[in-house]
Amino acid sequence: MFALELNHISKAYQDGERENLVLNDLSLKIGKGEFAAVLGPSGSGKSTLLTIAGMLLSADKGNIIINGDNVSDRKQKEWTKIRREKLGFIFQNHQLLPYLTTEEQLKLVADMKPYKTKEERNKAVDELLQELGISNCNKKYPKQMSGGEKQRAAIARAFINRPEVILADEPTASLDGTRGRQIAEMIRQEVKIRNTAAIMVTHDERILDLVDSVYRLDYGNLLKI
Ligand SMILES: Nc1ncnc2c1ncn2[C@@H]1O[C@H](COP(=O)(O)OP(=O)(O)OP(=O)(O)O)[C@@H](O)[C@H]1O
Ligand SMILES: [Mg+2]
């Protein structure tokens, strides 16, 4: 069974009079513990693809299956719950809340579902921060942290609910080469420790040795390369 299956996804945006077909009968399967990269020119539909896989936008056609569960059949009302329980997001700009410390960012989103007690959850927060090398940032606000530290905090936040699938849209784009590579390494590390599937959109071909599979999005479809 695959962690994530996208089957025959199509999506068009209305562009004035014209329809702009961005995804054209696209299919993709990602296994548990698989770290996949998606490349493609600007405007090719990479963010649209992640937004649909992340159930933040509905496709015109096709379906999404997460660990055997056809989630696109569910009512829109249930999507928020599925997003919270099954999916983790990492964006180009960390999107941390400015008025919360790192620890608080994680606790805020930490659903109690994977944890029996608050203590267990707090322990998971500490463990993740340690694995990602930012234990020293637990009481810090985003403005007191470097770009790389903030991006690591965003990774921790994406993993805290033990999601089945991680979706990362250019998570290294705002960082220099070395720090960008470290971020991709951190995502890989967590994907492997936790056996989570992950899709990362990137423009940085230098980090492709860190992923298990590489796809190129072109003319609305994915080619494995
Ligand atoms: N909400 C929208 N309404 C109309 N058109 C849109 C919308 N969002 C995206 N598009 C168009 O769809 C196409 C794909 O956009 P998308 O953001 O998915 O590209 P991308 O591959 O992520 O690009 P980039 O590398 O620049 O981030 C573009 O032509 C864009 O203009
Ligand atoms: Mg994009």
Sorted by sequence, the CB contacts under 8 Å of residue 224 that are 6+ apart come out as 213, 214, 215
Write down the pLDDT at residue 25: 97
Q: What is the pLDDT of residue 177?
A: 87
pLDDT tens digits for range 65-92: 999 999 998 998 899 999 989 999 998 8
Q: What is the distance in A from the centroid of ligand 2 to the CA of 122?
A: 34
**What is the best residue among 21, 47, 174, 205 to mutate for testing ligand 1's pocket, by most ligand atoms within 8 Å of CB?**
47
Q: Retrieve residue 135's tokens.
A: 């234990």
d(CA 139, CA 51): 31
Find the mean pLDDT for residues 16-33: 96
- Measuring CA to CA, which residue among 193, 171, 198 is closest to residue 90? 171
Nearest-angstrom CA–CA distance, 170 and 92: 5
Read off φ and ψ for residue 87, nearest 5 degrees: -120, 145
Domain positions in the chain are: 4-96+162-224
Q: Is 101 in the pocket of ligand 1 (CB under 6 A)?
A: no
214 CB burial (10 A radius; 0-12, 13-18, 19+): middle
List, in order, residues 6 or more apart from 81 with CB less than 8 Å away: none
Best CA proximity match to 72, nearest among 89, 48, 56, 91: 56
Q: What is the pLDDT of residue 203?
A: 92
How far is the centre of ligand 2, averaged over its atoms, from the C-alpha of 182 (Å)? 21
Per-residue pLDDT reduced to its tens digit, 123-175? 999 999 999 999 999 999 999 999 999 999 999 999 999 999 999 999 999 88
pLDDT above 90 for 113: no
Q: Is 19 in the pocket of ligand 1 (CB under 6 A)?
A: no
| CATH classification code of 4-96+162-224 | 3.40.50.300
